[in-house]
A = this chain, B = another copy of it.
Amino acid sequence: MADSWLPFDATEYERRQQALRARMDERSLDVVLLSGPENQYYLTGYETTGFHSFPQTLIFPRTAPPLLVTRRLEEGNAAAAYALACRSYRDDEDPADALAQALRDLGIADRTIGVEKAVPWLTVRLFEGLAHKLPSAKLVDVSGLVELMRAVKSPAEITYMREAAAAVAAGMRAGLAAVRDGVNEREIAAAVFPARILAGSHFVRNPTYITAGPRSALAHATWLGKTLERGDVVFFELGANVRHYDAALIRTAVVGPPTAELRRAADASIAGLAAAIETVRAGIPASEVYRATRDAIAKEGCAQFFLHRAGYGIGIEFLTWIERGGVSLDAGAMSILQPNMTLHLVPYLLLPGLGSVGFSETVCVTESGCEVLTTYPRLLTEG
For the complex formed, measure the closest distance between the CB of A352 and the CB atoms of chain B, giving whole angstroms.
Answer: 7
Residues 119-152 of chain A, each 1 if its beta carbon lies under 8 Å from chain B, else 0: 1111111011000000000000101000000000
Q: A91-B309, A143-B125 are in contact. Are A350 and B76 (CB under 8 A)?
A: yes
**Chain B CB within 8 A of A153 CB:** no
Question: How many copies of the polypeptide does the oligomer hold?
Answer: 2
**Chain B CB within 8 A of A271 CB:** no
**Chain B CB within 8 A of A53 CB:** yes
**Chain B residues, CB < 8 A from A123:** 117-120, 122, 124
**Chain B CB within 8 A of A330 CB:** yes
**Chain B CB within 8 A of A182 CB:** no
How many interface residues does A have (CB within 8 Å)?
74
**Chain B CB within 8 A of A190 CB:** yes
Q: A92-B332, A118-B123 are in contact. Are A187 and B198 (CB under 8 A)?
A: yes
Stretch in A203-211, A295-303, A336-344, A366-374 with 4+ CB within 8 Å of B: A203-211
In the bound assembly, the distance between CA atoms of A24 and B312 in angstroms comes to 40
For the complex formed, measure the closest distance between the CB of A49 and the CB atoms of chain B, giving whole angstroms.
Answer: 5
In the bound assembly, the distance between CA atoms of A77 and B206 in angstroms comes to 19
**Chain B residues, CB < 8 A from A120:** 52, 120-121, 123
Q: A190-B198, A219-B50 are in contact. Are A328 and B77 (CB under 8 A)?
A: no
**Chain B residues, CB < 8 A from A333:** 92
Which residues of chain A from 171 to 214 have any CB-CB distance to chain B below 8 Å in the complex?
Answer: 186-187, 189-191, 193-194, 197-198, 200, 202-208, 214
Q: 6 A-B contacts, Cβ less than 8 Å apart?
A: A5-B224, A48-B221, A52-B322, A91-B330, A117-B125, A190-B193
Residues of A at under 8 Å CB distance from B?
1, 5, 47-50, 52-53, 72-74, 76-77, 80, 90-92, 115, 117-125, 127-128, 141, 143, 186-187, 189-191, 193-194, 197-198, 200, 202-208, 214-215, 217-225, 307-309, 312, 319-320, 322, 324, 328, 330-333, 350, 352
